[in-house]
Structure 1
Amino acid sequence: MKTYDVVIIGGGPGGYNAAIRAGQLGLSVACVEGRSTLGGTCLNVGCMPSKALLHASELYEAAVGGEFASLGIEVKPTLNLAQMMKQKDESVSGLTKGIEFLFRKNKVDWIKGWGKLDGVGRVTVSDEQGVITELQAKDIVIATGSEPTPLPGVTIDNQRIIDSTGALALGEVPKHLVVIGAGVIGLELGSVWRRLGSQVTVVEYLDRICPGTDEEAAKTLQRSLAKQGMKFKLGSKVTQATVSAQGVNLSLEPAAGGSAETLEADYVLVAIGRRPYTQGLGLESVGLETDKRGMLANQHHRTGVPGVWVIGDATSGAMLAHKAEDEAISCIEQIAGKAHEVNYNLIPAVIYTRPELASVGKTEEQLKAEGREYKVGKFPFSANSRAKINHETEGFAKVLADARTDEVLGVHLVGPSVSEMIGEYCVAMEFSASAEDIALTCHPHPTRSEALRQAAMNVDGKAMQI
């Protein structure tokens, strides 16, 4: 039996960052991961490959859709889907190998196989050949991530009915792709295939897209995506899917009740969310139980069993890689006897469509529900110099500030490259900045980031460029 200070089950963003931080702090650490590569869902079949395809498909659409021609660039593009997938895989491979390097650098042992608890302080690992390795540690961190949530009546076969993993590896461009779920994954992957030539229809049970985001921002994004050709069937539920050699017939009903209809597609993407991956972890061996969703409860990353910790998608909170990374650092710092915590009020969220949607803090709907008085400052990208000369004028920057103190409470951006800009407000809000603080801060010109300052100025009606 090998003995460590810390054993981490799972090699995704939560697990590998926890392992690296433990190594940096001088702890002996092992990370158990059954995939052939590190990085978990995010690096292998999630965040990173989807961004590779989003980037490539944006360039392709710019070439075939006339944007290049309007800039004076004459090309006759041809889609080479196999090469597009190849460069995506090469990028992913480079990232996963980078984590292996960081493990070696920080003296982290990668135990290859699937791990489970085997009593307090013990983990057993089974590799592909069935060889069992026993590990012992004072502290064990569960960082097993999540998996796609199944939809009753719609069986995923990754042939015609696919999940997010299947949508990243299609060998042809669908004629008609139906996406079930208007959240982050559905909209991003739907965008990829629409740009490459698919007709895309998004079916959503709720009467809006992007549940949980600021409603005005979500509506603005939906209008933009609809203008690009994406069709939406909101307030609709899928009750059955019938697969044939040619495609899939979906039975739809209004969520509020009413007459059913049939929707035909050659591929269907099920993207209704994700659920914690906690089955088969041997939780019963230490007396742990999950809730109905499979989620483990935590108090500052501690489970109800001393020495067993949980981070990332396997526990409560947003299922985001950067949230898992923050929890990883906080968890390991506490194990090492240091003080650390995560500010869950300032976890940014991004949807990487075009335009992008990025937000941090409270939405207008949340502030209204709390009865908190607030001020709104908005600035459209159509009035931003850099956005105008780049022909990227859709969307806006919106700042919500406390009516009395002027403290920034929430920021919601729809527009070009806003994923790269939301961090400014994350920093500002971490220091409890006021809208005036941002309004008084010089921003470089011409940049899209000037919209952030103008929105802050407009909280008190002082925007100068509209």
Structure 2
Amino acid sequence: MAMASFARRKASLLLSKNLCNSSDALRYSLSLTSFSRGFSSGSDENDVVVIGGGPGGYVAAIKAAQLGLKTTCIEKRGTLGGTCLNVGCIPSKALLHSSHMYHEAKHSFASHGVKFPSVEVDLPAMMAQKDKAVTNLTRGIEGLFKKNKVNYVKGYGKFISSSEVSVDSLEGGNTVVKGKNIIIATGSDVKSLPGITIDEKRIVSSTGALALSEIPKKLVVIGAGYIGLEMGSVWGRLGSEVTVVEFASEIVPTMDGEVRKQFQRTLEKQKMKFLLKTKVVSVDSSGDGVRLTLEPAAGGEQSTLEADVVLVSAGRTPFTAGLGLDKIGVETDKVGRILVNERFTTNVPGVYAIGDVIPGPMLAHKAEEDGVACVEFIAGKEGHVDYNLVPGVVYTHPEVASVGKTEEQVKALGVDYRVGKFPFLANSRAKAIDDAEGVVKILAEKETDRILGVHIMAPNAGELIHEAVLALHYGASSEDIARTCHAHPTMSEAVKEAAMATYDKPIHI
């Protein structure tokens, strides 16, 4: 580690604190009274009860059991892993990979000297591979529950008091689960749009888009966020004509503006069409296809758009329906998120909430961190999640990954900064494998060189970003990364070169 860099970082600790405090994503803590409860020793009462077996819930349950707490996890789906594993992150990544393999075989293999007469899609086999991955992983979590002695109850749970949950079993009947501490980890659900009825056949959510029985000729995606672009990418690679309709003026609004523009151009080169600043007035599926009526977001003349399938991807909303939160007086905000303090405690003593049901990014890895920290607090330890440093990834090809602040956010804070960029066109590994579209962009505080944000568009950007996540966690400077030896030839050398460009000059461009 460069000594000058260490001195600069030491001088920037106050700045770091101010930057964190100013971030919208840091914490949504309330002035609530923290409440400590003793652990149960009775055979019929749990130390911890977790409602929800998704990434936040099952991780919390396992961690609680590892800390020696008697734990029960209640899951209504009947399979563990939540939306992420069953109908979200995992199956979508399976299809993204399979569709990418097909696209590469059809368009790129020949240039690498791999030729064959024809290539075709076997959609049932592709779906079967996806389903196999999901099944194996859900069973794996059940195995982890058994290994860690977590009691697993399959059914729909709802509060009857702050220490009791009534469960309608999937097998019939009802049971009451008691707990000294109860964690709400019920995740989120698809956000619907007014006047649009999702039937999961021709008008689908992400769930239906993961299970289409045939490749639509024309697919319209409503919403240009992470999920919409990923699912549009899957079906676009398989042959669908994809049009993305977005009310806002840009795609993925949380993304760094410069990277976003390059990302959109890349998707357009992949034949994805965008109708930005456009409102969906209505969707009619009464005929053979689906007809959308559109108009400019600011108002104006209407137009129509035909599709075989419409994917509604307008975001997600906290899932708290039927939990009985009102019965025990748990406070929520105007959009239904449960309000918690820095220890994940609600206003009701002994009741906690984590993941998608509380404010913050609706990401599986964020929910996992919440779950661990929450249980550590319950066990009398100190939990911690830094919400400024939760990485985000769009799993298209190329991927886009980021951590920390965008250039727009840094400007808004009034911080003097430097920018370093390095294109993958100048990266030897990317050129060798003929997959060189993308860039690394690093933002650093001008006086101290402390890294403020890193944005990567590249194949496997979701893997490359974690060097940056670790660097930001330790308050590293761009010079620290630049002076760290990176193996050659690797894609990660582009991160090193971008760091060199931030504090000085890159070598290979």
Fold equivalence (TM over 0.5): yes
SS at match of 2:161: coil
Aligned counterparts of 1:260 and 1:370: Cα–Cα separation in 2: 40
Task: Determine if the alignment matches structure 1 residue 219 to structure 2 residue 222.
Answer: no
The partner residue of 2:420 within 377, 387, 391 is: 377
RMSD: 0.9
Q: Is the CA contact (8 Å cut-off) linking 2:280 and 2:294 kept in structure 1?
A: yes
The partner residue of 2:79 within 26, 37, 47 is: 37
Q: Is the CA contact (8 Å cut-off) linking 1:279 and 1:294 kept in structure 2?
A: no
Q: CA deviation at 1:285?
A: 2.0
The partner residue of 2:305 within 263, 266, 276 is: 263
Q: Is the CA contact (8 Å cut-off) linking 1:277 and 1:314 kept in structure 2?
A: yes
Q: CA deviation at 1:437?
A: 0.3
The partner residue of 1:153 within 195, 201, 214 is: 195
The residue number in structure 2 matching 1:71 is 112
Q: In percent, how many aligned pairs have the same letter?
A: 57
The partner residue of 1:419 within 462, 467, 473 is: 462
Q: Is the CA contact (8 Å cut-off) linking 1:22 and 1:332 kept in structure 2?
A: yes
Q: 1:65-464 counterparts in 2 under 5 A?
A: 65=107, 67-75=108-116, 76-300=118-342, 301-464=344-507
The residue number in structure 1 matching 2:63 is 21
**Structure 2 gaps, min length 5:** 1-42
Q: CA deviation at 1:395?
A: 1.1
1:326-346 Cα shifts (integer Å, max 9, x gaps): 000000000000011100110
Q: CA deviation at 1:174?
A: 0.3
1:355-401 Cα shifts (integer Å, max 9, x gaps): 10000000011111111111100000000000011111111000000
Which AA in structure 2 matches 1:111?
A: V
Q: Is the CA contact (8 Å cut-off) linking 1:2 and 1:134 kept in structure 2?
A: no
Q: CA deviation at 1:130?
A: 4.0
Return 378-387 or 74-83, whichever deviates more: 74-83
Q: Which has the higher contact order (CA 8 A, sep 6+)?
A: 2
Q: CA deviation at 1:289?
A: 3.1
SS at match of 1:421: helix
Aligned counterparts of 2:287 and 2:113: Cα–Cα separation in 1: 44
Q: Is the CA contact (8 Å cut-off) linking 1:14 and 1:328 kept in structure 2?
A: yes
Q: Is the CA contact (8 Å cut-off) linking 2:451 and 2:476 kept in structure 1?
A: yes
Which AA in structure 2 matches 1:221?
A: F
Q: Is the CA contact (8 Å cut-off) linking 1:8 and 1:15 kept in structure 2?
A: yes
1:108-135 Cα shifts (integer Å, max 9, x gaps): 0011101111111111111134411101
Return the TM-score normalized by structure 1: 0.99
Q: Is the CA contact (8 Å cut-off) linking 2:331 and 2:346 kept in structure 1?
A: no
Number of residue-to-residue matches in the alignment: 465
Q: Is the CA contact (8 Å cut-off) linking 1:239 and 1:253 kept in structure 2?
A: yes
Which AA in structure 2 matches 1:405?
A: T
Aligned counterparts of 2:45 and 2:253: Cα–Cα separation in 1: 45
Aligned counterparts of 2:45 and 2:222: Cα–Cα separation in 1: 46
Return the TM-score normalized by structure 2: 0.90
Aligned counterparts of 1:198 and 1:231: Cα–Cα separation in 2: 11
Q: CA deviation at 1:38?
A: 0.4
SS at match of 1:332: helix
Which AA in structure 2 matches 1:72?
A: G
Q: CA deviation at 1:74?
A: 0.8
1:24-61 Cα shifts (integer Å, max 9, x gaps): 11100000001121000000000000000000000101
Which AA in structure 2 matches 1:452?
A: V
Return 123-132 or 13-22, whichever deviates more: 123-132
Aligned counterparts of 1:374 and 1:132: Cα–Cα separation in 2: 60
